[in-house]
Structure 1
Amino acid sequence: MSLSTDRILTTHVGSLPRSLKLQEANAARKAGTLDEADFQSTLADEVKQVVAKQVETGIDIVNDGEYGHAMTQAVDYGAWWTYSFARTGGLELVKDGNPANEVHRSTPGNLKYTTFGDRRDWTKFRDFYTSEIDTGNDPDSAFPVATSEISYIGQDAVASDVRNLKAGIEAAGASAGFVAALSPGSAARVGNKHYASDKDFQFAWAEVLREEYKAITDAGLTLQIDDPSISEGWDQINPEPSVEDYLAFIKTSVDALNYALEGIPEDQVRFHLCWGSWHGPHTTDLEFKYLADTLPSINARGYTFEAANARHAHEWKVWENLTLPEGKYIVPGVVSHSTNVVEHPELVAQRIEQFASVVGKENVVASTDCGLGGRLHEDIAWAKLSALTEGARIASERLFS
């Protein structure tokens, strides 16, 4: 992907609100009441429309809205992850002995994820989370578990992602596009009853996901790796570990990802870091300064991260003491998915200028904190993207004049 030398480019993290028509089509397909050809026709048309709307809004680096990652309702915090279940062989839905319900307590040097509902912020604010947000920790629910060797079976699905986005780009006249895909570390959060170790399981996922990565990049598109496990996992280890133990713990995830990316051009890869997309209190997020050295070790050219939400907006100053490797660029979030308040374009411009002051204006692409689809009403999501592009225009006038 080529960066601009005369203005601040804009993009977003991936997920965009799905129309009611697409939600209903996904539900009908799941129920077996919609013909596959009719579904694909609807999906292609919806992607074309969402690409056109991004271009109309002023977004430079567009995507398919992650419309190939099925959602059957307006609010869905997990489609970025659950889409992979249907694209992977060797998984079975398990109810008895559901590993999602196993509560683990870690010890130094032996860290383990606990259940989602047992994470430290969710226990600290138990009343809020049990009354306001579904933890998804239903003991009677089925959960995907690897019961045999896993394999990639999503060839048709990723081909559809690529085909629909490229058609949308051509129709709308967009200049660049990206497709989001799961990281091995996050994919390995499903249950494992086949592989001998967590490391073996993550590298098995690396082998599987490499095929999806190559399908995206071989088509000339940018690959965005979604990997909240790098940062979000900190809150899901109980009791709180030392930073040193945690950084050692996530090194396997980084190594597995770099293994999956071998042979893929670095300039076609960007990596997304986040602390969790749900609307709720975050007080145990790992500070960005502890992850700053991990990011450049990932074989990507661009790094996207949350920088607008109330827990992380101050951390732009961390970059004052960092050296961005030559040829790399950052994609900070300058509007947030975590609030319904639409940012003023002047605030967006100021945030962009803060990052430009510490890494150079040519190395900044303005973005959102995380995906907007499934988290915000569509009117709010598009208003935020408009504020993003207007803020980038304001910042560009001041930075490049």
Structure 2
Amino acid sequence: MQGSTDRIRTTHVGSLPRSDKLTRLMYDWQEGKDVHQELEATISAEATAVVGKQKSLGVDIPDDGEVGKPGFSNYVRTRLDGLGGAADGWNFHDLIENPALLQELFGSEGGAHINMPACEGPLRYRDREIKRDIANLQKAMAEHDIEEAFLPVASPGILAGHVTNRHYPSYEDYLQALSDAMREEYTAIAQAGLIVQIDAPDLPCASPQHSTMVPTDILEKYGLAGVIRLHIEAIENATRDVPAEQLRLHLCWGNYEASHHYDMPLQDVIEPVLRHCHAQAILFEAANPRHEHEWEVFETIKVPDDKILIPGLIDTVTNIVEHPRAISHRIQRWARVIDKERLIVGTDCGFDTFVGINEVNPDIAWEKLASLSEGAALASDVLWSR
């Protein structure tokens, strides 16, 4: 992965607006309807289209928009043997305290189709769908003359939190099994010459004040810092065959519009990540009102010389389009705490985390990405003229 050698480069986190046709086909597929052939053709066509759209808006490091997945974590239902049934529920405490908002955010048809599985037997990876996603992205890259792109994948820890364990004797055994199984997906992406993005909201969301994702007994056994380290070790095991320059790690506190007043401070998670994770690039929320101020963390934390920071400068749960000058100002502020050559800019999270769960209007999502590119160009003119 290249840094920013002569201008600030842009990327995003993963999911992009899906068409109404693709959304409906995903629902039908989840309901067991015979739509496989049409779904596969639609996924291929939309992957090519979404890559071209990103290029036209100035996104330097695109992906496939996650068009082949029903969601950023529940997609593993068809990629891992041993999964079935339905997972137990878990939640965020700010939403537990506001059930009306919880219903507003997730009580839709999209919420009903999240369809998270449970682990009911030994885990083993199936590679058919990742081969499809890789082929679709490579085809789109060739058609649109793109040299560098990424594919997002779920971290072992977020799967341990989302996919209820009903088979392995302990949390540690389950996390290890997930890490070993998902390694095949991560390695396949890297071997294809693509960037692997590990989506790891399990690290910032491990705090018991914020979410119910990590079992209470595990938090009591290891403490919060110990759980974070345990989950980083699972990531490191799963990515041991992925070179650092092909690996980036995404941190977020849940991509939903609520108070987030229980969120863990960035400092509590970024320090162990920088110390123990070999990923070259770290992506994290830095645009929304709860976390925008945390650029200050890097006034005291030294970022290792081999790391790239990718702060999110676009809020993915509001329909307000950030002004390019506001983005430029944010970039210049970040360039005061890390060398501009080691700064890429992105979004806080995805725009369509689960199919049908999109708090930003699709047209506005694309406008936001265009504004990100315009802001990066403005900042580049300033930073490279000094």
Whole-Å Cα distance in 2 between the matches of residues 35 and 288 of structure 1?
43
Q: Give the structure 2 partner of residue 285 of structure 1.
A: 263
Q: Determine if contact 1:213/1:261 at 8 Å carries over to the other structure.
A: yes
What TM-score do you get using the length of structure 1 for normalisation?
0.87
Letter in 2 for 1:45: A
Aligned-residue offset at 1:188: 1.1
User: Does the 8 A contact of 1:60 with 1:175 survive in 2?
Assistant: no
Greater shift, 217-226 or 120-129, is seen at 120-129
Residues 21 and 217 (structure 1 numbering): CA distance in 2 closer, same or farther, change over 3 Å? Answer: same
For 1:224-373, what aligned pairs fall within 5 Å after superposition? 224-234=197-207, 235-237=210-212, 245-296=223-274, 297-373=276-352
CA offsets per residue over residues 347-400 of structure 1, 9 Å max, x none? Answer: 101111111111110011010000012332111100100110000000000001
Other-structure match for 1:69: 69
Partner of 2:102: 129
Counterpart Cα distance in 2 of 1:135 and 1:320: 42
In 1, Cα distance between the equivalents of 2:116 and 2:249? Answer: 27
Residue identity matched to 1:310: P
Aligned partner of residue 188 in structure 1, secondary structure: helix
**Residue 138 of structure 2, aligned match among 166, 169, 180:** 166
Unaligned 5+ runs, structure 2:
353-357
Shift of 1:26: 2.4
Pairing 1:168-247 to 2, within 5 Å after superposition = 168-189=140-161, 190-234=163-207, 235-237=210-212, 245-247=223-225
Secondary structure class of the residue paired with 1:293: helix
Match of 1:394 among 370, 373, 378: 378
Aligned partner letter, 2:304 = P
Distance 1:143 1:342, change over 3 A: closer
SS of the residue aligned with 2:133? Answer: helix
Tell me if structure 2 keeps the 8 A contact 1:129–1:135.
Answer: no
Deviations 1:73-110 (A, max 9, x none): xxxxxx1111111111111204xxx633xxxxxxxxxx
> SS at the partner of 1:157?
helix
Change (3 A) 1:132 1:56: closer
Partners of 1:269 and 1:302 within 8 A in 2: yes
Counterpart secondary structure, 2:85: strand
Tell me how far 1:194 sits from its aligned partner. Answer: 1.6
Q: What residue is the counterpart of 1:104 in the other structure?
A: none
Q: CA deviation at 1:31?
A: 4.7
Identify if the C-alpha distance between structure 1 residues 325 and 232 changes in structure 2 by more than 3 Å, giving closer, same or farther: same
Identify which of 119, 141, 146 aligns with 1:146.
Answer: 119
**Given the superposition, is the C-alpha separation of residues 132 and 15 from structure 1 closer, same or farther in structure 2, using an over 3 Å criterion?**
closer
Given that 1:125 and 1:281 are in contact with CA atoms closer than 8 Å, whether structure 2 keeps it comes out as no
Partner of 1:224, secondary structure, is strand
2:80 corresponds to which letter in structure 1?
Answer: T
After superposition, the Cα gap between the structure-2 partners of 1:319 and 1:29, relative to the gap in structure 1 and judged at 3 Å, is same
2:88 aligned residue: 99
- Equivalent position amino acid for 1:61 in 2: I
Three-state SS of the structure 2 residue aligned to 1:90 is: strand
Q: Which amino acid aligns with 1:202?
A: L
Alignment CA distance shift 1:143-1:169 (3 Å): closer
Q: Do 1:277 and 1:375's aligned partners in 2 also have CA atoms closer than 8 Å?
A: no
Q: Where does the alignment leave 5 or more consecutive residues of structure 1 unmatched?
A: 71-78, 101-114
CA distance in 1 between counterparts of 2:49 and 2:168 reads 42
Aligned residues between the structures = 369
Percentage identity across paired residues of the two chains: 34
Cα shift at 1:36: 3.3
Query: 5 Å matches for 1:14-25?
Result: 14-25=14-25
Cα offset, 1:132, TM superposition? 5.1
| AA matched with 2:250 | H
Q: For the residues of structure 2 that align with 1:135 and 1:290, how far apart are their CA atoms?
A: 34
Task: State the Cα deviation string for residues 285-341 of structure 1 (Å, max 9, x = none).
Answer: 001111121221112000000000000000001111111112210000011112111
In structure 1, how many angstroms separate the alpha carbons of the residues matched to 2:185 and 2:105? 35
Does 57-66 or 127-136 show the bigger shift? 127-136
Partner of 1:3: 3
Cα distance between partner residues in 1 of 2:59 and 2:67: 17
**Letter aligned with residue 278 of structure 2:** N
Equivalent residue of 1:63, what SS? coil
| RMSD of Structure 2 on Structure 1 (CA) | 2.3
Q: 1:275 to 1:142 in 2, by over 3 A?
A: closer
**TM-score, scaled to structure 2:** 0.90
Structure 2 residue matching 1:66: 3-state secondary structure: coil
